[in-house]
Amino acid sequence: MQQNDIYTPPMDPLEVLHEDLEVLVVNKPAGLLSVPGKTPDLADCLLTRVEVAFPTARLVHRLDRDTSGVMVFGLTAHAQRHLGAQFEARKTKKTYVARVVGQLEPKEGEVDLPLIVDWPNRPRQMVCHETGKPSLTEYKVMRSNQDETRVKLFPKTGRSHQLRVHMLALGHPILGDPLYAPETAAGFERMMLHAEELRFSHPESGRGIRVRAKTPF
How far, in Å, CA of 112 to CA of 131, rounded? 14
Interacting residues of 22 by C-beta distance below 8 A, sequence separation 6+: 74, 75, 76, 78, 79, 202, 203, 204
Distances (CA, A) of 60 to 76, 84, 91: 11, 5, 14
Q: Quick check: 203 and 82 in contact, CB under 8 A?
A: yes
Buried b (16+ CB within 10 A) or exposed e, 10-37: eeeeeeebbeeebbbbbbbbbbbbbeee
64 is catalytic: yes
| CA-CA-CA-CA torsion sign (173, 178, 182, 186) | positive
How far, in Å, CA of 61 to CA of 1, rounded? 23
Q: Quick check: 70 and 195 in contact, CB under 8 A?
A: yes
Catalytic residue of the set 5, 20, 64, 147: 64
How far, in Å, CA of 194 to CA of 150, rounded? 11
For residue 133, give the DSSP letter: B
Catalytic residue numbers, as ranges:
64
